[in-house]
Structure 1
Amino acid sequence: TLLEPLHALIADREFWQHQSDGLVIFRSPDWFTTYRLPIPFEELTVVSSRPHIKPLLPLIINNGHFYLLTLSQNQVRFFEGTRQQLGAISLGEAPTSLAEAMRYDEFNDQLQFHTQTGTNSDGGRAAIFHGHSDAGDEAVIKENIKRFLNQVDNGVCDAIDDTRAPLVLAGVEMMCGLYREISQYPSIVPETIDGNVEQREEADLHAKAWALVEQQFSASQQEATDAYLHLAGTDDPRAGTDLKEIVAGAYFQRIDTLFIQKGLQQWGTFDKQANTVQVHQNQQAGDTDLLDFAAVHTMLNGGTVYAVTPQEVPDGQSIAAIYRYGKL
């Protein structure tokens, strides 16, 4: 039966011994999965025609998706991160060290690479390139590093789909400064994690990177709130709090920014054919959480959703929206 796997979990001692702050279970006739998640939830059971994800929104949309690039002549590392975690990702065919880049450099016939014993400002071994001119050593070194960083940047830009996601740089000032000069990526965080990063633990890098991008994510929410209040204050039709209009607007791709109250359900139905919304005081058979519905369709249609406290929803409502081009 549909509930059989759920009943089996009750007696599964090993399952309950390995839990996190929150537990989510999805079950359908052909799908059963569980997620241990690092945030707590209020107990909630929902029966619907689709997964109910609104309680997960703080993880999905307020969790801060960012990238981290650590730079030194001897080692490049690339990470994808959120508030909760940091994970290494591949740069494809891009070189991960200056020596590797120079082995395949088109100027390799003219420049001879050797590594001098000792430490440079990165804390690693110093890479020295000797050309055929006595006067140009520093310029040659800088040019080769920039060539190397260009290849790294190509790998970064190929690996990132959402160019709005902030990219944090970590490394010594010279490496990060040169990367900023040559990079085509549009969303590099102005501040840098400075210093030798070759031996830094991922947990330390994660904490320092999150401290930089958290300010940016908080600022984005405040900017969205200010934009809503400005529109509402001038009676601009692009700002609204009517639940029925917002639900329809989300489905028909008209919502640019949505604010919804965390921990609140508003039950009802949406008839896509008739474009009508029914709101019910209590949950009835066939109902869906309209706040969840609006959030899901706003995200599916490229909008931004903020799941916030009651005090943070503009105009003191349970839901508020900025429309792309006016209401229906």
Structure 2
Amino acid sequence: MSVVNRETIEKLISETQDVNVTIFIPTHKKGEEGKQDSIRLKNIIQKTKNELIEKGWKENRVDELFKPVYTKTEENQFWLHQDKGLALYVNEQYFDFFKIPVSPKENFYISDNFLITPLLELQNHHNIYHVLLLSQSETKMFKVAPDETTQVKFESVPTSMEEHLKYHVHERSVQHHTGTSGGGAVFHGQGADVDENKKELELFLKHIENKVTKYLKRVNGPLVLAGPDKMISYYKKANKYFNLLDNHIIGNCDTKSVQEIEEESWDIVEAYFREEILSDIERFNDLQGSELISTDVSDIVKGAYFGKVDTLFVPMGFHQYGIFDPNKNRVEISDKLNGEAVDLINYAAISALRNGSTLYGLPQSEVPNNSGLAAIYRYKS
């Protein structure tokens, strides 16, 4: 299993044989429904087997094809850690699978190419970003990647006010006690000590900021802050990292789960990762009336094959079947997937990837002109 990005999809394309099988099923992270996922997979594999036999495959050849799938999916731990969907790619020389964060329609596809269009949505789902949870009890930072969220450990810097005060001596006396919520020491003061308290909190956050910025300058990507208003305000005042997002998660984050951190931070960072998509959609709209854009599937299939497509907008869940003959540069549309017919949307996407085009997998309502496929051309002859 690999993270789904453009390189992953390109590798899939490079592994194709004469006959390739793609299977998608929705899955569940836990609960009673999750217990049915393995049964659901076995059922759709059986349907796939039946179709291969109808196409002339011998039963022992079909069994051999799916042997690595059964070996992997019958492991004890396989079904314990699922996401919203499962994608499997198999031919007689290759097998891989992806636990994906979107719920696909249950489906199988047998063709001379793998079905890669459902994965296009994942490659622009998001790249890596970081979330910094500011807390007097324990300040933590998480690296959020498409496949997992991990904590980034700080070294040589206090991550709580209690540790900070142990190592920083100051002239005025400072009052602190153990708080009743969130654990650890809560730092505060009274009267004239308030200014000193503020200075210590600012110094604590400045030390954190130095460590965070030094780390992030090596890895880049956006940073989301989370925590009480005051701490966020002080941190922003000290911040020197160029990619700190304006919006943040407000409130005590000491007891938040990793899943809550992922969900709340994604609400903030999604717009950042969609800027490029929105920019290209705007570019398409600005070219209305020009020959440099198209929503005609046949025209786009031809253009993608011959390297004319600059940007391709692919609607998720939409299929258009047909046959493309590159020698005659002719497309025949079909209403069914039979004979030599293939999914032309998938064919166009594979051609565009091979020719270095930019691709976006989008809900159909977000594809320009709400169309079945849309493209911006590099040139049109």
CA contact (8 A) 2:178 2:185 kept: yes
Q: Establish whether residue 208 from structure 1 lines up as the match of residue 264 from structure 2.
A: yes
SS at match of 2:259: helix
Cα separation, 2, equivalents of 1:136 and 1:263: 62
Q: Establish whether residue 58 from structure 1 lines up as the match of residue 115 from structure 2.
A: no
CA contact (8 A) 1:72 1:198 kept: yes
CA contact (8 A) 1:66 1:80 kept: yes
**Cα 1:101–1:58, aligned 2, differ >3 Å: closer, same or farther?**
farther
**Cα 1:260–1:170, aligned 2, differ >3 Å: closer, same or farther?**
same
Match of 2:149 in 1: 87
- For each residue in 1:24-50, what CA deviation from the matched residue of structure 2 results, as whole angstroms up to 9, or x when unmatched? 32112332234454513242313224x
**Cα 1:214–1:136, aligned 2, differ >3 Å: closer, same or farther?**
closer
Cα separation, 1, equivalents of 2:235 and 2:185: 20
- For each residue in 1:229-281, what CA deviation from the matched residue of structure 2 results, as whole angstroms up to 9, or x when unmatched? 3321xx2444322446645458748524524353314444585xx8x854233
Match of 2:169 in 1: 112
| Stretch moving more, 218-227 or 11-20 | 11-20
- For each residue in 1:184-207, what CA deviation from the matched residue of structure 2 results, as whole angstroms up to 9, or x when unmatched? 243x44321112212222233233
CA RMSD across the alignment: 4.7
1:80 Cα offset (Å):
0.8
Match of 2:241 in 1: 184
Q: Establish whether residue 241 from structure 1 lines up as the match of residue 295 from structure 2.
A: yes
Cα separation, 2, equivalents of 1:93 and 1:299: 42
Match of 1:132 in 2: none
Q: Determine which structure has the larger helix proportion and give its number.
A: 2
**Cα 1:34–1:137, aligned 2, differ >3 Å: closer, same or farther?**
closer
Give me the TM-score of the superposition, normalised by structure 2: 0.59
CA contact (8 A) 2:312 2:358 kept: yes
SS at match of 2:119: helix
Q: Establish whether residue 71 from structure 1 lines up as the match of residue 126 from structure 2.
A: no
Q: Establish whether residue 97 from structure 1 lines up as the match of residue 153 from structure 2.
A: no
**Cα 1:93–1:322, aligned 2, differ >3 Å: closer, same or farther?**
farther
**Cα 1:52–1:65, aligned 2, differ >3 Å: closer, same or farther?**
farther
Cα separation, 1, equivalents of 2:183 and 2:292: 54
| Stretch moving more, 68-77 or 189-198 | 68-77
**Cα 1:217–1:20, aligned 2, differ >3 Å: closer, same or farther?**
closer
Letter in 1 for 2:133: T
Structure 2: segments with no counterpart, 5+ residues: 1-60, 189-194
Give me the TM-score of the superposition, normalised by structure 1: 0.67
Letter in 1 for 2:205: I
Match of 1:197 in 2: 253
Q: Percent identity?
A: 20
**Cα 1:13–1:242, aligned 2, differ >3 Å: closer, same or farther?**
closer
SS at match of 2:284: helix
SS at match of 1:52: coil
Structure 1: segments with no counterpart, 5+ residues: 129-134
Q: Establish whether residue 281 from structure 1 lines up as the match of residue 336 from structure 2.
A: no
CA contact (8 A) 2:179 2:186 kept: yes
